[in-house]
Amino acid sequence: MDGRGNIASRSLTGGTRLLEYTLAVCVFLGSFALWVVAPFGSLWLASKLAKDAVTMMIYVLFITPVAMTACTFALGALHRAYLRVSGAPVTRDRTAWLGSLSGDRGLKRGRRPILDFSLTFSAITAGVLLIVWFLLLAENHSPAGFLP
């Protein structure tokens, strides 16, 4: 382990490395599924089950949290499998405000865990895509037309 808390070197076989990369891709896809597939899928499912708009919204209020919770548990299982295969240590970061302001600081932070990075990246990407869709692709239902 180096000074930043990273694993210096690992000797992984080809199959283990392939499994590690496959699990990393699955974590990223699961993160996107959490922000995109679960909400839109629950809207689609509720629209197929409901007869009117009020019933659909009631269904959405129940289906969406269940779908996102299921996706979160699946992401947790994928991340635990990734950590097991990659051999990365499970560490809990202490936030900066809990650290001392004096010179007795411990090790510097290591790399961000893959789950942290994938969730942050997918949430920002989903937000940007929502803004792009809203500004450029959504139909304008304003009676005055497009207003700058």
128 domain-assigned: yes
Q: What is the pLDDT of residue 94?
A: 59
1 domain-assigned: no
102 domain-assigned: no
What is the three-state SS of the chain? Answer: CCCCCCCCCCCCCHHHHHHHHHHHHHHHHHHHHHHHHHHHHHHHHHHHHCCCHHHHHHHHHHHHHHHHHHHHHHHHHHHHHHHHHHCCCCCCCCCHHHCCCCCCCCCCCCCCCHHHHHHHHHHHHHHHHHHHHHHHHCCCCCCCCCCC
Query: How many domains would you assign to the chain?
Result: 1
25 domain-assigned: yes
| Domain, as residue range, for 61 | 14-90+111-137
98 domain-assigned: no
Average pLDDT value for residue range 9-25: 80
pLDDT tens digits for 41-85?
A: 999 999 999 999 899 999 999 999 999 999 999 999 999 999 889
84 domain-assigned: yes
